[in-house]
Structure 1
Amino acid sequence: MKLVVVSAGLSVPSSTRLLADRLAAATADRLPGAGPADVRVVELRDLAVEIAHAFTGGFPSKPLAEALDEVTSADGLIVVTPVFSASYSGLFKSFFDVLDKDALVGKPVLIAATGGTGRHSLVLDHGLRPLFSYLRAVVVPTGVYAASEDWGAEGLAERIDRAAGELAASLSAPAGGPAQTPAAAAASAAGPADSGSPRPAQGVPGARADGFRVVPFEERLAALRP
Protein backbone atom coordinates (compact mmCIF):
# COMPACT_ATOMS: atom_id res chain seq x y z
CA MET A 1 0.00 0.00 0.00
CA LYS A 2 1.62 3.23 -1.17
CA LEU A 3 0.75 6.42 0.70
CA VAL A 4 2.10 9.70 -0.66
CA VAL A 5 2.25 12.90 1.39
CA VAL A 6 2.39 16.27 -0.37
CA SER A 7 3.60 19.04 1.93
CA ALA A 8 3.70 22.68 0.82
CA GLY A 9 5.40 24.06 3.93
CA LEU A 10 8.06 26.69 3.29
CA SER A 11 9.95 27.05 6.56
CA VAL A 12 12.35 24.61 8.25
CA PRO A 13 11.07 23.29 10.59
CA SER A 14 7.53 23.57 9.26
CA SER A 15 4.21 23.15 11.09
CA THR A 16 2.76 22.05 7.73
CA ARG A 17 5.28 19.21 7.49
CA LEU A 18 4.69 18.35 11.16
CA LEU A 19 0.96 17.99 10.55
CA ALA A 20 1.64 15.96 7.39
CA ASP A 21 3.91 13.58 9.30
CA ARG A 22 1.37 13.08 12.09
CA LEU A 23 -1.40 12.35 9.59
CA ALA A 24 0.82 9.90 7.69
CA ALA A 25 1.84 8.06 10.86
CA ALA A 26 -1.77 7.81 12.09
CA THR A 27 -2.93 6.50 8.70
CA ALA A 28 -0.10 3.98 8.37
CA ASP A 29 -0.91 2.58 11.82
CA ARG A 30 -4.46 1.81 10.67
CA LEU A 31 -3.67 0.16 7.35
CA PRO A 32 -4.03 -3.65 7.22
CA GLY A 33 -1.08 -5.92 6.58
CA ALA A 34 1.85 -7.30 8.49
CA GLY A 35 4.52 -5.02 7.05
CA PRO A 36 4.90 -1.25 7.30
CA ALA A 37 3.11 0.97 4.81
CA ASP A 38 5.13 2.47 1.97
CA VAL A 39 5.00 6.19 2.85
CA ARG A 40 6.60 8.70 0.47
CA VAL A 41 6.87 12.46 1.06
CA VAL A 42 6.87 15.08 -1.70
CA GLU A 43 8.25 18.34 -0.27
CA LEU A 44 7.14 21.12 -2.62
CA ARG A 45 9.59 23.61 -1.10
CA ASP A 46 12.40 21.73 -2.85
CA LEU A 47 10.57 21.78 -6.21
CA ALA A 48 9.52 25.44 -6.38
CA VAL A 49 11.94 26.38 -9.18
CA GLU A 50 11.17 23.21 -11.16
CA ILE A 51 7.43 23.90 -10.94
CA ALA A 52 7.93 27.43 -12.29
CA HIS A 53 10.09 26.12 -15.14
CA ALA A 54 7.42 23.54 -16.00
CA PHE A 55 4.96 26.39 -16.55
CA THR A 56 7.29 28.42 -18.74
CA GLY A 57 8.99 25.56 -20.57
CA GLY A 58 6.11 23.14 -20.85
CA PHE A 59 8.06 20.11 -19.58
CA PRO A 60 8.86 19.00 -16.02
CA SER A 61 12.43 18.51 -14.92
CA LYS A 62 13.54 15.07 -13.75
CA PRO A 63 12.99 15.80 -10.01
CA LEU A 64 9.53 17.22 -10.70
CA ALA A 65 8.62 14.36 -13.03
CA GLU A 66 9.59 11.89 -10.33
CA ALA A 67 7.39 13.71 -7.80
CA LEU A 68 4.47 13.74 -10.23
CA ASP A 69 4.94 10.02 -10.84
CA GLU A 70 4.89 9.37 -7.09
CA VAL A 71 1.55 11.15 -6.75
CA THR A 72 0.09 9.45 -9.82
CA SER A 73 1.08 5.95 -8.66
CA ALA A 74 -0.07 6.44 -5.05
CA ASP A 75 -2.90 4.39 -3.60
CA GLY A 76 -3.84 7.36 -1.41
CA LEU A 77 -2.77 10.94 -0.78
CA ILE A 78 -2.36 13.25 2.19
CA VAL A 79 -2.10 16.87 1.06
CA VAL A 80 -1.21 19.69 3.44
CA THR A 81 -0.80 23.39 2.68
CA PRO A 82 -0.17 26.53 4.70
CA VAL A 83 -2.84 29.23 4.38
CA PHE A 84 -1.84 32.44 2.62
CA SER A 85 -4.37 35.24 2.01
CA ALA A 86 -7.22 32.99 3.21
CA SER A 87 -6.47 30.23 0.68
CA TYR A 88 -4.02 27.48 -0.20
CA SER A 89 -0.54 28.60 -1.18
CA GLY A 90 0.38 29.38 -4.77
CA LEU A 91 3.11 26.73 -4.67
CA PHE A 92 0.58 24.10 -3.61
CA LYS A 93 -1.86 25.04 -6.39
CA SER A 94 0.90 25.25 -8.99
CA PHE A 95 2.02 21.69 -8.29
CA PHE A 96 -1.46 20.32 -8.93
CA ASP A 97 -1.78 22.55 -11.98
CA VAL A 98 1.16 20.77 -13.65
CA LEU A 99 -0.14 17.33 -12.63
CA ASP A 100 -2.02 15.42 -15.32
CA LYS A 101 -5.73 16.19 -15.11
CA ASP A 102 -6.64 12.49 -14.81
CA ALA A 103 -3.95 11.53 -12.28
CA LEU A 104 -6.22 11.70 -9.23
CA VAL A 105 -9.41 10.16 -10.63
CA GLY A 106 -10.91 7.91 -7.95
CA LYS A 107 -7.92 8.33 -5.62
CA PRO A 108 -8.63 8.74 -1.86
CA VAL A 109 -7.32 12.07 -0.57
CA LEU A 110 -7.06 13.49 2.95
CA ILE A 111 -6.95 17.30 2.95
CA ALA A 112 -5.29 19.38 5.67
CA ALA A 113 -4.00 22.90 6.25
CA THR A 114 -2.14 25.01 8.77
CA GLY A 115 -2.52 28.68 9.61
CA GLY A 116 -1.82 31.36 12.16
CA THR A 117 -5.44 31.72 13.21
CA GLY A 118 -8.49 29.50 13.48
CA ARG A 119 -10.48 31.98 11.39
CA HIS A 120 -9.07 30.42 8.22
CA SER A 121 -10.30 26.89 8.94
CA LEU A 122 -12.98 27.17 6.23
CA VAL A 123 -10.20 26.94 3.63
CA LEU A 124 -10.68 23.17 3.83
CA ASP A 125 -14.26 23.29 2.53
CA HIS A 126 -14.09 26.47 0.44
CA GLY A 127 -10.70 25.89 -1.18
CA LEU A 128 -9.19 22.42 -0.90
CA ARG A 129 -12.31 20.28 -1.16
CA PRO A 130 -13.57 21.96 -4.38
CA LEU A 131 -10.08 21.70 -5.91
CA PHE A 132 -9.81 17.94 -5.40
CA SER A 133 -13.44 17.35 -6.27
CA TYR A 134 -12.72 19.05 -9.60
CA LEU A 135 -9.76 16.68 -10.06
CA ARG A 136 -12.24 13.82 -9.42
CA ALA A 137 -10.44 12.54 -6.35
CA VAL A 138 -12.36 10.96 -3.47
CA VAL A 139 -11.93 13.37 -0.55
CA VAL A 140 -12.45 11.79 2.89
CA PRO A 141 -15.13 13.51 5.01
CA THR A 142 -12.85 14.85 7.75
CA GLY A 143 -10.32 17.54 6.90
CA VAL A 144 -7.77 18.70 9.48
CA TYR A 145 -6.95 22.35 10.10
CA ALA A 146 -4.30 23.27 12.67
CA ALA A 147 -3.97 26.87 13.82
CA SER A 148 -1.03 27.99 15.95
CA GLU A 149 -3.07 27.63 19.14
CA ASP A 150 -4.14 24.06 18.25
CA TRP A 151 -0.73 22.51 18.79
CA GLY A 152 -0.78 20.84 22.20
CA ALA A 153 -4.45 21.72 22.75
CA GLU A 154 -7.35 19.31 22.99
CA GLY A 155 -9.09 18.31 19.79
CA LEU A 156 -6.28 18.22 17.21
CA ALA A 157 -5.21 14.66 18.04
CA GLU A 158 -8.81 13.47 17.79
CA ARG A 159 -9.29 15.14 14.40
CA ILE A 160 -6.06 13.58 13.13
CA ASP A 161 -7.15 10.13 14.31
CA ARG A 162 -10.62 10.47 12.76
CA ALA A 163 -9.30 11.66 9.39
CA ALA A 164 -6.58 9.00 9.34
CA GLY A 165 -9.15 6.32 10.08
CA GLU A 166 -11.33 7.48 7.21
CA LEU A 167 -8.41 7.46 4.76
CA ALA A 168 -7.26 4.03 5.94
CA ALA A 169 -10.79 2.69 5.52
CA SER A 170 -10.91 4.10 1.96
CA LEU A 171 -7.61 2.44 1.13
CA SER A 172 -8.70 -0.88 2.66
CA ALA A 173 -12.07 -1.04 0.88
CA PRO A 174 -12.36 -3.48 -2.04
CA ALA A 175 -12.38 -2.00 -5.54
CA GLY A 176 -16.06 -2.84 -5.95
CA GLY A 177 -17.00 -0.96 -2.79
CA PRO A 178 -18.21 -2.29 0.56
CA ALA A 179 -19.74 -5.75 0.67
CA GLN A 180 -23.50 -5.99 0.82
CA THR A 181 -25.17 -7.18 3.98
CA PRO A 182 -27.20 -10.42 3.65
CA ALA A 183 -30.45 -8.44 3.79
CA ALA A 184 -29.28 -6.03 1.10
CA ALA A 185 -28.09 -8.88 -1.10
CA ALA A 186 -31.45 -10.63 -0.75
CA ALA A 187 -33.32 -7.44 -1.60
CA SER A 188 -31.13 -6.88 -4.64
CA ALA A 189 -31.71 -10.43 -5.85
CA ALA A 190 -35.46 -10.06 -5.40
CA GLY A 191 -35.54 -7.03 -7.71
CA PRO A 192 -37.15 -3.61 -7.14
CA ALA A 193 -39.43 -3.28 -4.15
CA ASP A 194 -43.18 -3.20 -4.71
CA SER A 195 -44.26 0.42 -4.93
CA GLY A 196 -47.85 -0.42 -4.02
CA SER A 197 -49.18 0.30 -7.52
CA PRO A 198 -51.65 -2.24 -8.98
CA ARG A 199 -49.95 -4.77 -11.22
CA PRO A 200 -51.19 -5.82 -14.69
CA ALA A 201 -53.45 -8.85 -14.83
CA GLN A 202 -51.94 -11.87 -16.56
CA GLY A 203 -53.10 -12.45 -20.16
CA VAL A 204 -55.21 -9.30 -20.51
CA PRO A 205 -53.45 -6.47 -22.33
CA GLY A 206 -53.80 -3.19 -20.45
CA ALA A 207 -55.80 -4.79 -17.59
CA ARG A 208 -54.91 -4.66 -13.92
CA ALA A 209 -55.64 -7.10 -11.13
CA ASP A 210 -58.39 -4.82 -9.73
CA GLY A 211 -60.39 -5.03 -13.00
CA PHE A 212 -59.46 -1.60 -14.33
CA ARG A 213 -58.41 -1.66 -17.98
CA VAL A 214 -56.53 1.00 -19.89
CA VAL A 215 -58.07 1.35 -23.35
CA PRO A 216 -55.52 2.25 -26.04
CA PHE A 217 -56.23 5.45 -27.94
CA GLU A 218 -56.44 3.61 -31.29
CA GLU A 219 -59.17 1.36 -29.91
CA ARG A 220 -61.20 4.30 -28.57
CA LEU A 221 -60.85 6.10 -31.91
CA ALA A 222 -62.05 3.02 -33.81
CA ALA A 223 -65.15 2.81 -31.57
CA LEU A 224 -66.16 6.36 -32.53
CA ARG A 225 -66.13 5.65 -36.24
CA PRO A 226 -69.49 4.87 -37.94
Structure 2
Amino acid sequence: MYFAKGDPDMGGQPLPWNQQMMFNYAFQNLCDAHRILGDNPTLLDKYKGIMVASLAWFFSGGGSVTKKDSKGNDVYDWSYVVGDNTAEDSNHGALDVAGFARAYISGDYSITEDQMKTFGNMFVDVMTLGPKSYAGRVDGTSGTGYSAATTYVQSGYLFLAEFRSDAYEGMVAGANLVQGGTTTSTDAFSRFLWVKNQLAKKS
Protein backbone atom coordinates (compact mmCIF):
# COMPACT_ATOMS: atom_id res chain seq x y z
CA MET A 1 0.00 0.00 0.00
CA TYR A 2 1.11 3.53 -0.80
CA PHE A 3 0.20 7.05 0.20
CA ALA A 4 -1.87 8.87 -2.41
CA LYS A 5 0.25 10.71 -4.97
CA GLY A 6 -1.34 13.97 -3.88
CA ASP A 7 -0.35 13.57 -0.22
CA PRO A 8 1.62 16.76 0.64
CA ASP A 9 4.12 14.95 2.85
CA MET A 10 4.49 11.33 1.70
CA GLY A 11 2.95 11.41 -1.77
CA GLY A 12 3.38 8.12 -3.63
CA GLN A 13 5.61 6.55 -0.97
CA PRO A 14 4.95 3.19 0.76
CA LEU A 15 3.06 3.16 4.03
CA PRO A 16 5.13 2.09 7.04
CA TRP A 17 4.47 -1.52 8.00
CA ASN A 18 2.60 -0.71 11.20
CA GLN A 19 0.25 1.55 9.23
CA GLN A 20 -0.26 -1.16 6.63
CA MET A 21 -1.31 -3.39 9.52
CA MET A 22 -3.84 -0.78 10.63
CA PHE A 23 -5.45 -0.94 7.20
CA ASN A 24 -5.18 -4.74 7.19
CA TYR A 25 -7.05 -4.91 10.50
CA ALA A 26 -9.91 -3.04 8.84
CA PHE A 27 -9.79 -5.14 5.66
CA GLN A 28 -9.81 -8.34 7.73
CA ASN A 29 -12.79 -7.12 9.75
CA LEU A 30 -14.62 -6.23 6.55
CA CYS A 31 -13.86 -9.66 5.09
CA ASP A 32 -15.20 -11.33 8.22
CA ALA A 33 -18.35 -9.22 8.13
CA HIS A 34 -19.10 -9.92 4.46
CA ARG A 35 -18.31 -13.62 4.96
CA ILE A 36 -20.76 -13.86 7.88
CA LEU A 37 -23.46 -11.85 6.11
CA GLY A 38 -22.89 -13.52 2.76
CA ASP A 39 -23.96 -10.26 1.14
CA ASN A 40 -21.14 -9.17 -1.16
CA PRO A 41 -18.59 -11.76 -2.33
CA THR A 42 -17.11 -9.28 -4.81
CA LEU A 43 -16.13 -6.84 -2.07
CA LEU A 44 -14.94 -9.70 0.13
CA ASP A 45 -12.58 -10.89 -2.61
CA LYS A 46 -11.39 -7.33 -3.24
CA TYR A 47 -10.56 -6.63 0.41
CA LYS A 48 -8.93 -10.02 0.84
CA GLY A 49 -6.83 -9.49 -2.29
CA ILE A 50 -5.53 -6.15 -1.02
CA MET A 51 -4.60 -7.65 2.32
CA VAL A 52 -2.94 -10.75 0.85
CA ALA A 53 -0.87 -8.53 -1.46
CA SER A 54 0.21 -6.32 1.43
CA LEU A 55 1.29 -9.26 3.59
CA ALA A 56 3.05 -11.04 0.73
CA TRP A 57 4.97 -7.87 -0.14
CA PHE A 58 6.62 -7.92 3.28
CA PHE A 59 8.27 -11.27 2.51
CA SER A 60 9.03 -10.61 -1.15
CA GLY A 61 10.25 -7.16 -2.12
CA GLY A 62 9.00 -5.31 0.94
CA GLY A 63 12.31 -5.05 2.72
CA SER A 64 12.35 -8.06 5.03
CA VAL A 65 15.51 -10.17 4.98
CA THR A 66 15.85 -13.70 6.33
CA LYS A 67 19.06 -14.23 8.28
CA LYS A 68 20.58 -16.82 10.60
CA ASP A 69 20.84 -15.94 14.27
CA SER A 70 23.60 -17.02 16.64
CA LYS A 71 21.80 -20.33 17.24
CA GLY A 72 21.46 -21.09 13.54
CA ASN A 73 17.74 -20.31 13.41
CA ASP A 74 16.07 -18.29 10.67
CA VAL A 75 15.05 -14.78 11.74
CA TYR A 76 13.54 -11.78 9.99
CA ASP A 77 15.12 -8.35 9.85
CA TRP A 78 13.11 -5.48 8.38
CA SER A 79 12.74 -1.72 8.52
CA TYR A 80 9.99 0.68 9.53
CA VAL A 81 9.13 1.33 5.89
CA VAL A 82 10.24 -0.05 2.55
CA GLY A 83 13.48 1.64 1.52
CA ASP A 84 14.63 2.56 5.03
CA ASN A 85 17.98 1.07 6.04
CA THR A 86 17.41 1.18 9.81
CA ALA A 87 16.00 -1.90 11.54
CA GLU A 88 12.38 -1.68 12.66
CA ASP A 89 11.96 -0.43 16.23
CA SER A 90 10.51 -2.60 18.97
CA ASN A 91 7.37 -0.53 19.43
CA HIS A 92 6.27 -0.58 15.81
CA GLY A 93 7.64 -4.09 15.34
CA ALA A 94 5.17 -5.36 17.93
CA LEU A 95 2.34 -3.84 15.90
CA ASP A 96 3.71 -5.45 12.74
CA VAL A 97 3.92 -8.87 14.40
CA ALA A 98 0.41 -8.57 15.85
CA GLY A 99 -0.93 -7.91 12.37
CA PHE A 100 0.74 -11.02 10.98
CA ALA A 101 -0.46 -13.06 13.97
CA ARG A 102 -4.03 -11.94 13.43
CA ALA A 103 -3.85 -12.94 9.77
CA TYR A 104 -2.27 -16.30 10.68
CA ILE A 105 -4.98 -17.05 13.24
CA SER A 106 -7.64 -16.44 10.61
CA GLY A 107 -6.08 -18.97 8.25
CA ASP A 108 -7.30 -17.06 5.19
CA TYR A 109 -4.29 -14.96 4.23
CA SER A 110 -1.48 -17.41 3.38
CA ILE A 111 0.59 -16.72 6.51
CA THR A 112 2.32 -19.95 7.54
CA GLU A 113 3.45 -21.44 10.83
CA ASP A 114 7.05 -21.39 9.59
CA GLN A 115 6.82 -17.65 8.96
CA MET A 116 5.44 -17.07 12.44
CA LYS A 117 8.19 -19.21 13.96
CA THR A 118 10.78 -17.09 12.15
CA PHE A 119 9.30 -14.03 13.84
CA GLY A 120 9.44 -15.97 17.11
CA ASN A 121 13.12 -16.77 16.61
CA MET A 122 13.77 -13.10 15.99
CA PHE A 123 12.20 -12.08 19.27
CA VAL A 124 13.58 -14.90 21.43
CA ASP A 125 17.08 -15.26 19.97
CA VAL A 126 17.83 -11.69 18.86
CA MET A 127 15.69 -9.17 20.73
CA THR A 128 15.72 -10.92 24.11
CA LEU A 129 18.97 -9.85 25.76
CA GLY A 130 18.27 -11.37 29.17
CA PRO A 131 15.53 -11.61 31.81
CA LYS A 132 13.35 -8.51 31.40
CA SER A 133 15.86 -7.01 28.98
CA TYR A 134 14.80 -6.48 25.37
CA ALA A 135 16.45 -4.74 22.43
CA GLY A 136 14.85 -1.64 20.99
CA ARG A 137 15.13 -2.86 17.40
CA VAL A 138 14.38 -6.16 15.67
CA ASP A 139 18.06 -6.69 14.82
CA GLY A 140 19.07 -6.70 18.50
CA THR A 141 20.39 -3.14 18.62
CA SER A 142 18.88 -0.23 20.54
CA GLY A 143 18.56 3.51 20.16
CA THR A 144 16.33 6.15 21.69
CA GLY A 145 12.62 6.91 21.62
CA TYR A 146 10.65 4.10 19.99
CA SER A 147 13.90 2.17 19.49
CA ALA A 148 14.99 2.35 23.13
CA ALA A 149 15.59 -0.92 24.96
CA THR A 150 12.78 -2.02 27.29
CA THR A 151 12.46 -4.03 30.49
CA TYR A 152 9.18 -5.58 29.38
CA VAL A 153 7.72 -7.51 26.45
CA GLN A 154 5.57 -5.43 24.11
CA SER A 155 2.26 -7.29 24.00
CA GLY A 156 2.28 -7.89 20.24
CA TYR A 157 5.23 -10.21 20.65
CA LEU A 158 3.33 -12.47 23.08
CA PHE A 159 1.66 -14.15 20.09
CA LEU A 160 5.09 -15.55 19.21
CA ALA A 161 5.29 -17.70 22.35
CA GLU A 162 3.01 -20.16 20.54
CA PHE A 163 5.85 -20.84 18.10
CA ARG A 164 8.67 -20.74 20.65
CA SER A 165 7.10 -22.59 23.54
CA ASP A 166 10.52 -22.92 25.16
CA ALA A 167 10.37 -19.18 25.84
CA TYR A 168 6.71 -19.05 26.91
CA GLU A 169 7.25 -18.64 30.65
CA GLY A 170 9.96 -16.03 30.22
CA MET A 171 7.86 -14.03 27.78
CA VAL A 172 4.84 -14.09 30.06
CA ALA A 173 6.98 -12.95 32.99
CA GLY A 174 8.52 -10.29 30.77
CA ALA A 175 5.04 -8.96 30.05
CA ASN A 176 4.58 -8.56 33.82
CA LEU A 177 1.88 -11.23 33.99
CA VAL A 178 2.43 -12.92 37.34
CA GLN A 179 0.50 -15.87 38.77
CA GLY A 180 -1.89 -14.55 41.39
CA GLY A 181 -1.27 -10.99 40.28
CA THR A 182 -3.34 -8.47 38.35
CA THR A 183 -2.85 -6.39 35.22
CA THR A 184 -4.43 -3.35 33.63
CA SER A 185 -3.20 -4.40 30.17
CA THR A 186 -6.17 -5.98 28.41
CA ASP A 187 -4.18 -6.58 25.23
CA ALA A 188 -1.35 -8.40 27.04
CA PHE A 189 -3.78 -10.48 29.09
CA SER A 190 -5.96 -11.45 26.13
CA ARG A 191 -2.92 -12.43 24.05
CA PHE A 192 -1.54 -14.44 26.96
CA LEU A 193 -4.85 -16.34 27.20
CA TRP A 194 -4.80 -17.02 23.47
CA VAL A 195 -1.28 -18.43 23.53
CA LYS A 196 -1.93 -20.44 26.68
CA ASN A 197 -4.93 -22.05 25.00
CA GLN A 198 -3.02 -22.77 21.79
CA LEU A 199 -0.17 -24.44 23.66
CA ALA A 200 -2.62 -26.45 25.78
CA LYS A 201 -4.25 -27.79 22.61
CA LYS A 202 -0.85 -28.86 21.28
CA SER A 203 0.25 -30.62 24.47
- Output the TM-score relative to the length of structure 1: 0.24
More helix by share: 2
More strand by share: 1
Say which structure, 1 or 2, has more relative contact order (CA 8 Å, 6+ apart).
1
- Greater C-alpha radius of gyration: 1
